[in-house]
Structure 1
Amino acid sequence: MKVLLNDSLNKEGIKIFAEAGITVDTKKRNAKILIKEIGEFDALIVRSSTIVTREVIESGVKGNLKIIGRAGIGYDNIDTVAASQNGIVVKNAPWGNINATAELSLALMLNATRNITQAQVSLKKGVWSKKSFEGRELSGKTLGIIGCGRIGQRLSELVIGFNMEVVGYDPVVRVNSRIKFLPKEEVLKRADYVSVHASGTRVIIGEKEFSIMKPTAYLVNTSRGHNVDEEALFNALESGKIAGAGLDVYENEPKNEGDKFNNKLQKLNNVVISPHLGASTKEAQLRTSIQIAQVVTNYLKKGDFSDAVNVGETIELEEKLFFPLFVYHDDKPGMFAKISKTLADHGVNIRENPSRQIGDGCAIAVYLVHQKVEKTVLDELNKLKGVHRAKA
């Protein structure tokens, strides 16, 4: 098997592939060459640089392509619709940069509220100025988190030392969380700092939301650029509807290192900006490389769906009724075929059938099926040569 690492990978991740007997190619392909050569590989792993289009995917499925891995959380650069339509699994590595992104969010909160960047610029120009950079403390304030997944939860832990009250909004209310879940409007009303950690492609914070926030509040966004309406943000900052902002992501970002960045928010003194550094720590890069190598290897070698984004990681996520069928049988060729044919003849659809060796020369298979297995079907299964026991 062969894997193309089109945006590079940490050496520890490459080692995992090597130990699994998977050949790695680290040569960077541009879009044209990628379309031409992708069919040579069983897997494609990218970061944010490579855009995986429908054309790339459809070219890949004509060859060996089986899975696409995104070394990171966001996968907006992969056409997941085209992947699903062509039977290609897409996986990401959601755990690697959780802490790094949460720490950057906290750093932006501190930077924006203490005017650190502005003070540094002034001092480097040779101007000693203190009064104009007076800030506020985080301690005792209220943090509002919009999107309370892994990163939002981690941020809520990081601010414990600041004795901050943490409120948040998320469609999924999580138990055993430090976050007090409230309606979105209530979070915006109460928060001194609003930190966005949402997924999706729609605007989460726009003109309406800025009108609800305190005039002393700060906005932090380390999630996705399009989650915040930049025009509305510019107006809110310029007019004083909110006090300031710390941003790491933008609606339009340069594609390549060294490209020119042009954004009207650069003109404002009450915004702190960084060039999408959320995952840019040595520790995060290491964790992400290891995780994406593991989940891609596990799919290629074991058919494991963990961390898949376009199919259910587990059968429960498909939200369809299923029934278990337990079959104890001889562990030899042809047994699955006979059992599957019997079920098919009775209109029973198999969704999954994990199987393990047990005892001497036997195996236990658990078939998860979409229809209830009736007694007549069980009787027929139990009559098959090599089947010792079938129970529903």
Structure 2
Amino acid sequence: MPKVLIADDLSQAAVDIFTNRGIDTDIKVGLSKDELIAIADQYDGLAVRSACKPDADVIAAATNLKVIGRAGIGVDNIDIKAATAKGVVVMNTPFGNAVTTAEHAVAMMFAAARQIPAADQGTQAGKWPKKSFVGTELSYKTLGLIGCGNIGARVAERAKGLTMKVVAYDPFLTEERAIELGVEKVDLDTLLARADVITLHTPLTDQTRNILSREALAKAKKGLILVNCARGGLVDEAAVREMLDNGHLAAAAFDVFAEEPAKENILFGAPNFIATPHLGAATVEAQENVALQVAEQMSDYLLSGAVTNALNMPSVTADEAPRLKPFIELAEKLGAFAGQVSDHGFEEVVIEYEGEVAELNRKPVTAAALSGLLHASRGDVNMVSAPSILAESGVKLSETKTEESPVYDNLIRIKVKVPRTANSDETGWRSLAGTVSAGRPRIVEVKGMPLEGAFSSVMLYVNNIDKPGFIGALGAMLGEAGINIATFHLGRQDTGGEAIALIGIDGLPPHELTEKLDALPHVRYAKVLNF
């Protein structure tokens, strides 16, 4: 039974989802880092919000961890790089609190435009400060969105309802999507020059950190209203304070801060500044939605392998998972085969998909192939970590797909380009292919030669010249070593040409056996393979 640690407050409904689906849960909120490290290896899953911070040390200690689920959008409290390297899937719930956060941003925009908090405070103090608060209308003003994804798009929809003109800076926003939303896609400098109000809706990354720097804010239109309900660290807070003091900014409203909880901040007490304590997702509906979503997503992954809203792994729906499973198994075995016969590494990888598999979600299949390929040389690698490891190594990866396969209903072919050595073939490429037949993976081609058979846990791979007496000598040698043959598959180019023998055996042979095989006349290469 998988076991999940709930390390931040989640609704009871989320706990019930885990329990009803057969997943054991422990609820331990407010653990220190040392306390978390001490128990981390007991769990397959870790469910968090923003308070718990699974950093590299925690992830390293969580030797059985498979998934971290963030009930919410922002994942800057999670070390995704460390999780990826360890093969841990990181999921968030980007849709559960989108409406709530968008509404809070609009509310903060109104509050800043009319200085509602200060007016409320003065009124309740008995001052009736009517003449002190002359606000500004938002209708027909220009709203600048920094980030126009899930939340930003909802803010745009509401701003359009206020008859605002909306411009957006987002490198990932397509022109087609901008037209659909009724917004104008612009660069950052144009947005700063034109916007009367700016709201931020982007995650905190190396690219977005301090995106509204002192220099950027200096380019903004005088009298700007600035709203940040996204993440702390996107804005230079000291510069905002100075610009509120000197009047360059008319008002600012922040729900998030560079350091939280923000018990002290340079912005506190600034004129026309409004602050809320990270309330963007704090509605009954949003809290319930993200908790339920993260519980469902984590359960699906732990029980069926379905991946939803992962930040470091291709998505696989619950419907896709069983259909993809045999192809993932085939790809991993083909990758393992290629990795084990690439003794001197590889410079390039090509994966070809033919037939039925070409029309499926191939990303997880490719990840499985890379996992098998890298396992021989890297050891601790899986579908999560393999793609990033390959990318970091500088090895080129390419894929092709063909809707029809000439012989099989489906076929996956892996080709790796190896450095030229005495053991490399003439082209410098090693190629092998397999198919799924009756739900099971089978190898059907090695080095371009047809050779059909099932995978065994231990296999002996021999590349030889097709000459009489080879099979007899090989069988005698295995018999003398006490190795029983389970399966025997042969392939060749032409009579007397290059040939392949792939033999399933019942146990690991002694190292001396491969040395004797290598010494046989006409043997070019011999290798024991493990699957």
Q: 1:304 to 1:240 in 2, by over 3 A?
A: same
Deviates more, 1:8-17 or 1:211-220: 8-17
The Cα shift of 1:313 comes to 3.6
Residue 68 of structure 2 aligns to which amino acid in structure 1? I
For the 8 Å contact 2:338–2:414, the answer to whether it is kept is no
Residue 196 of structure 1 aligns to which amino acid in structure 2? L
Residue in structure 1 matched with residue 359 of structure 2 by the alignment: none
- Structure ranking higher on relative contact order (CA contacts 8 Å, 6+ apart): 1
Residue 278 of structure 2 aligns to which amino acid in structure 1? H
Match for 1:197 among 201, 221, 224? 201
Residue in structure 2 matched with residue 359 of structure 1 by the alignment: none
Residue in structure 2 matched with residue 12 of structure 1 by the alignment: 13
For the 8 Å contact 1:353–1:367, the answer to whether it is kept is no
**Secondary structure of 1:289's aligned partner:** helix
- Equivalent-residue separation in structure 1 for 2:18 and 2:47 (angstroms): 12
Structure 2: which 5+ residue stretches go unaligned? 317-322, 343-349, 352-364, 370-408, 417-430, 434-443, 456-531
Residue in structure 2 matched with residue 27 of structure 1 by the alignment: 28
For the 8 Å contact 1:123–1:129, the answer to whether it is kept is yes
Is 2:353 the counterpart of 1:283? no
Residue in structure 2 matched with residue 46 of structure 1 by the alignment: 48
Is 2:83 the counterpart of 1:83? yes
Q: 1:300 to 1:345 in 2, by over 3 A?
A: same
Deviates more, 1:371-380 or 1:296-305: 371-380
- Equivalent-residue separation in structure 1 for 2:308 and 2:290 (angstroms): 15
The Cα shift of 1:5 comes to 0.3
Residue in structure 2 matched with residue 104 of structure 1 by the alignment: 104
* TM-score normalised over the length of structure 2: 0.61
For the 8 Å contact 1:167–1:182, the answer to whether it is kept is yes
Residue in structure 1 matched with residue 222 of structure 2 by the alignment: 215
For the 8 Å contact 1:3–1:22, the answer to whether it is kept is yes
Residue in structure 1 matched with residue 301 of structure 2 by the alignment: 299
**Secondary structure of 1:253's aligned partner:** coil
For the 8 Å contact 1:353–1:365, the answer to whether it is kept is no
Q: Taking every aligned residue pair, what percent have the same amino acid on both sides? A: 36
For the 8 Å contact 1:169–1:184, the answer to whether it is kept is yes
Residue in structure 2 matched with residue 361 of structure 1 by the alignment: none
Q: 1:341 to 1:379 in 2, by over 3 A?
A: farther
The Cα shift of 1:173 comes to 2.1
Residue in structure 2 matched with residue 390 of structure 1 by the alignment: none
For the 8 Å contact 1:342–1:380, the answer to whether it is kept is no
For the 8 Å contact 1:353–1:366, the answer to whether it is kept is no
* TM-score normalised over the length of structure 1: 0.82
CA offsets 1:96-131 (integer angstroms, 9 cap, x no match): 111111111100100000111010010111111211
Deviates more, 1:45-54 or 1:342-351: 342-351
Residue 139 of structure 1 aligns to which amino acid in structure 2? S
**Secondary structure of 1:143's aligned partner:** strand
| Number of residue pairs aligned between Structure 1 and Structure 2 | 356
Residue in structure 2 matched with residue 160 of structure 1 by the alignment: 160
Q: 1:78 to 1:368 in 2, by over 3 A?
A: farther
Match for 2:232 among 207, 225, 238? 225
Q: 1:18 to 1:235 in 2, by over 3 A?
A: same
**Secondary structure of 2:212's aligned partner:** coil
Match for 2:450 among 369, 376, 380? 380
The Cα shift of 1:49 comes to 0.8
**Secondary structure of 2:62's aligned partner:** helix
CA offsets 1:39-62 (integer angstroms, 9 cap, x no match): 11111111111121222111111x
* Greater gyration radius: 2
- Equivalent-residue separation in structure 2 for 1:272 and 1:43 (angstroms): 38
Match for 2:245 among 222, 228, 238? 238
The Cα shift of 1:310 comes to 2.6
The Cα shift of 1:147 comes to 1.1
Is 2:321 the counterpart of 1:251? no
Residue in structure 1 matched with residue 464 of structure 2 by the alignment: none
- Equivalent-residue separation in structure 1 for 2:139 and 2:49 (angstroms): 36
CA RMSD of aligned residues (A): 3.1
Residue 15 of structure 2 aligns to which amino acid in structure 1? I
Structure 1: which 5+ residue stretches go unaligned? 255-259, 315-325, 355-363, 386-392
- Equivalent-residue separation in structure 1 for 2:181 and 2:147 (angstroms): 13
For the 8 Å contact 2:99–2:151, the answer to whether it is kept is yes
The Cα shift of 1:171 comes to 1.0
**Secondary structure of 1:76's aligned partner:** coil
Q: 1:227 to 1:344 in 2, by over 3 A?
A: closer
**Secondary structure of 1:7's aligned partner:** coil
Q: More strand by proportion, 1 or 2?
A: 2
CA offsets 1:134-165 (integer angstroms, 9 cap, x no match): 10111111110011111111100112221111
The Cα shift of 1:341 comes to 7.3
The Cα shift of 1:132 comes to 1.0
**Secondary structure of 1:264's aligned partner:** coil
CA offsets 1:215-251 (integer angstroms, 9 cap, x no match): 1210100111100000111111111112111110111
Residue in structure 2 matched with residue 58 of structure 1 by the alignment: 60
Q: 1:45 to 1:382 in 2, by over 3 A?
A: same
